[in-house]
Amino acid sequence: MKHVLRLIETTDSQRNSLLLITNRLELSAQEISEMYRSRWAIEIFFKWLKQHVKITSFYGKSQEAVLNQVFIALIAFCLLLLAKIFSACQESLLQIYRWLRVLLWEDSQIWWELLTSKRRKPDT
């Protein structure tokens, strides 16, 4: 190889040994390990985001436009989750979202009554 590389041994959150190869010679082994952990946390967040928040395409290309769209989608997800919690509805978030899309231009009371009619049965 033309460039010098450095091998760092660290552990993950389950205490499994990891070997990292880097060309960042100016950083300490601890800093490299933290960068890897942070990067992995970001990967997990985006995996969750793809699975739970419906963003099929971005409407803008600037950083501000993308961030705004992600934040709006996260706020919408949180509002759906709060509606599910406060209504004690047993249906999935996907089903609640589908009902909302169908009843979007109707009185919100109709949607809320639908949610509360699907309440969880109390444990006996």
| pLDDT score of 63 more than 90 | yes
What local confidence, expressed as pLDDT, does residue 121 receive?
Answer: 62
- Residue 57: what are its φ and ψ, rounded to 5°? -155, 160
Give the integer Cα–Cα distance in Å for 92 and 77: 12
CB atoms within 10 A of CB 80: 16
Residue 62 has pLDDT above 90, yes or no: yes
Q: Average pLDDT in the 81-92 region? A: 87
92 φ/ψ sector (left φ>0, alpha ψ -120 to 50, else beta): beta
The pLDDT tens digits of the residues spanning 9-55 come to: 988 878 889 899 999 899 999 999 888 888 888 888 888 888 888 78
- Among residues 8, 15, 58, 6, the alpha carbon closest in space to that of 30 is found at 8
Contacts 24+ apart (CB under 8 A), 52-58: 52/77, 52/93, 53/77, 54/97
